[in-house]
Amino acid sequence: MKEIKLKIVTPEKVLYEGMVESVSFPTTEGEITVLPHHIPIISAVKAGELKIKVSGKEDFFHVTRGVLEVTGEMMTLLTDAAERSLEIDEERAKEAHERAKQIMAEKRTDIESYAEAVAQLERALSRLKVVRRRRGGRSSFNSQG
């Protein structure tokens, strides 16, 4: 089985480091899936769902913006923040979603505040999507990191 090393790094810690079969992540141009021996690339990552596959099982993370570098033998994701699906509190994510919608409704004329509220809404929706995938019976596993 072909694998590639993945390292997910936030300012606080290395969240994940291990061998994976594939990684799918959101970019400004759409979703990209990287497999072993992928050509070298550097890609901007936008907030959303990151999916890794190890031993035929999928694990999900919520990531914020960042940069992914692929060398062919290794992938390194540098991101502002990331959470494993198991770490996401669904109720808190729902509350954040509601707060962001309320801010958007109140800040229609303040472009900067509205843009921040949209970003908060996108993060909340991504976190909810990731946690609901876990709850929906998809495989999740513990790994190093």
Most confident of 52-66, 95-109, 116-130: 52-66
The pTM is what?
A: 0.65
Helix (H, G, I), strand (E, B) or coil at 93: helix
Pick from 144, 145, 140, 143: nearest CA to 51:
140
List the one residue out of 113, 121, 61, 60 whose CA is nearest residue 96: 121
Q: What is the pLDDT of residues 33-77, one digit of tens each?
A: 999 999 999 999 988 889 999 999 988 888 888 999 999 789 999
Q: Please give the tally of structural domains in the chain.
A: 1
Sheet holding 14-20, edge to edge: 14-20, 4-9, 74-79, 66-70, 41-45
Q: To the nearest whole percent, how much of the chain has pLDDT over 90?
A: 32
Higher-confidence residue: 89 or 140?
89
Output the domain CATH number for residue 99.
2.60.15.10
pLDDT band at 28 (very low <50, low <70, confident <90, very high): confident
Residue-range definition of the domain harbouring residue 11: 1-145
d(CA 66, CA 47): 8
